[in-house]
Structure 1
């Protein structure tokens, strides 16, 4: 009975959810899996595959080294405001860079996650860990291995709020009685940050485009993400890991790019780096303004205006509004008056409206207010691309102002 006793003891160990050498399974191509750093994770008689890869913090991915992530988190510690990407109060080890690969792009229970990948800083290394579903139906060991030691504070994803994490929650619901609970996470979704800062330079802010045009990282012989479901189904049929290992490489690069992208976005927002383009500085200022960090936004706009004078109309326009909000109407009027003739129509209209308001209500210079109303009337009348309905509405509001200002001028002359 000695063989049976040994076998029962081994099964009890596997029941505990431990990691074993890949050779403990009947999976084909064991040596290939093993050579790629893959082990097995057992729950009862079922298992998933776990692959781990480590990088030194000095490793460069795109324009940054991973140790720059440490600097970016440190920079947030002195941040006085609130921002959706702020890691104030966190350490670099708290950030959990996360990405999945699924059998389809839709949501719901019909879409299965077959690869859960995440990266984090561990000491002087970045550790990328991937949990792979070797066959449909083995989601209990997949999620058990993923959730057993998840103790991080903040997810960092790319469109993960809309896709990755909701999909994890959907699949978890089906097996929640057999695996640990989902942890409570904060969430940094870098997709939204990329849209804010980079949409001016690219039609699509897919991660691969951001890598190439912003992070200075070019993938070589990469498997496109849309092919991942087909490659996974081919693996299920033939059990050959060649294709799926390339999908895992694709997922790994996604995770590493999240680290670099978070670093870059932080550097732009907090001006840690001097490599920001003028437009990125403006977009960072506008994002800071939107999130209630008006003083920091003002600094960004002033930086651009001081460097470019009257050449960056958007920065002048936003800076003028900052001065108006601070009740510094002289500076606001000076900026709006200085907007050049090549300024876009939209900004010209708002600038003339604001000048008319300031001269009428704040400076009591009714002649100047009427002059700006006249300039605005000519601008609207000569704009051929403006729709008749909106033009009529704009002129109606303008004539109301002209009438009111004219009456004030008359009363002033009588006194």
Structure 2
């Protein structure tokens, strides 16, 4: 009988209820150190003489991970459903049970068929508990039961990962392609990638955006005796060779923490965006405002900027400039000029001061026809650049050209007055 035929024969008795989870291992499969695995809640899932391993861990919603409890995730979903804010992380219209937190462990960091996934980790809300399930590849060549068990349990609308759009899910798709005739199809789904959200929010304070860094510096998660992720491939290959599960159990714990951090990171990001985090810094508020601006949520962004402009921080001055742009687009040039001039008077942030001076000069020239005032702000900007300050998008030649044009306009007006 072909492998595909054997798979079809076994489909009828491969449901994922408790009875199937408690199946005895196939007599043909020898699982070394089975007792040690069972202590960690690991059981075999077999398919016609081949098998993978499955580990399940259940957490009460009261469980605290870093600064957050798992119940905060439910609160985040509830608040999103009450909000009209349109945002890529919004779960409006979703139930907490429909999100699927996902992370993998692989034999390498590169893409392509040469890289295998040996742990598929997932967690979701089931009957008021967070149920975390890990599908484990006991040895290369057991990918059919691995993906069969994983895809049979997938019941979600939205995937939540950390850099999963670029790495985890493309890896799943690559490996799935090799065995797609023998396992269920990959489902269609939405995708929340928290890496991009974390980068937007905290790149100003974190040099690296690895999840382990974010969870420590932002979420307050302290890993104890954790195995570094880069050692995972070596530990896996050692397990394949020696069958000693100790190292693999540590990798499973590492993956478990990763997934718990995804849950609390989603809650924290949601509280930041929805402005319910009482400990949110001014810089974080500004980053939320800038994100909303890029999404076209101008009214919400404007409210955030207005709430933090009365301060001498870099974020506050940046907010003044952002408000200048918003009012300028709304053709409220008086308000726009007012905010640009306020920012232009903050010499401690000279890069922002250069930008504010140039924008003030534009309005003074084109709207107010106050060419001398425009020249004055051009001079301030040029002087700052001569002092060694710079702005990435503004050059001294550009400012000088604007200044010269205003001089010509003044000269033209003076000549006209003489003739009159």
Q: What TM-score, normalized by structure 2, do the two folds share?
A: 0.90
Q: CA deviation at 1:390?
A: 4.2
In 1, Cα distance between equivalents of 2:272 and 2:211? 18
Find 2:363's aligned residue among 354, 358, 361: 358
Q: CA deviation at 1:113?
A: 0.3
Change (3 A) 1:381 1:22: same
Aligned to 1:191: 195
SS at match of 2:195: helix
In 1, Cα distance between equivalents of 2:58 and 2:386? 65
Change (3 A) 1:297 1:410: farther
Aligned to 1:34: 38
Q: How does 1:292-371 map to 2 (within 5 A)?
A: 292-306=296-310, 312-339=316-343, 340-371=345-376
Q: CA deviation at 1:206?
A: 0.8
Q: How does 1:74-85 map to 2 (within 5 A)?
A: 74-85=78-89
In 1, Cα distance between equivalents of 2:410 and 2:59? 69
Q: How does 1:250-289 map to 2 (within 5 A)?
A: 250-289=254-293
SS at match of 1:167: helix
Aligned to 2:104: 100
Q: CA deviation at 1:21?
A: 4.6
In 2, Cα distance between equivalents of 1:94 and 1:320? 41
Please provide the CA RMSD for this pair.
2.4
Whether contact under 8 Å (1:109, 1:170) holds in the other structure is yes
Aligned to 2:149: 145
Change (3 A) 1:402 1:64: farther
1:364-399 C-alpha deviation (Å, 9 max, x unpaired) = 333322332333343344447789x94334423442
Change (3 A) 1:409 1:249: farther
Q: CA deviation at 1:178?
A: 0.3
Gaps of at least 5 residues in structure 2 are 1-7, 15-19
Q: How does 1:105-254 map to 2 (within 5 A)?
A: 105-254=109-258
SS at match of 1:400: helix
Find 1:69's aligned residue among 62, 68, 73: 73
1:307-352 C-alpha deviation (Å, 9 max, x unpaired) = 5589832122212222222222222222222223424333222211
In 2, Cα distance between equivalents of 1:386 and 1:77? 41
Work out the number of aligned pairs and report it.
404
Whether contact under 8 Å (2:372, 2:406) holds in the other structure is no
Gaps of at least 5 residues in structure 1 are 1-10
1:172-210 C-alpha deviation (Å, 9 max, x unpaired) = 000000000000111111111111111111100111111
1:228-284 C-alpha deviation (Å, 9 max, x unpaired) = 000000000000111001100000000000000000011001112211111111111
In 2, Cα distance between equivalents of 1:311 and 1:49? 50
Q: CA deviation at 1:406?
A: 4.4
SS at match of 1:148: helix
In 2, Cα distance between equivalents of 1:350 and 1:136? 57
Change (3 A) 1:310 1:256: closer
Aligned to 1:7: none
In 2, Cα distance between equivalents of 1:412 and 1:184? 72
Q: CA deviation at 1:112?
A: 0.4
In 1, Cα distance between equivalents of 2:264 and 2:140? 33
SS at match of 2:56: strand
1:82-132 C-alpha deviation (Å, 9 max, x unpaired) = 322111111111111000000011000000000000011112100100000
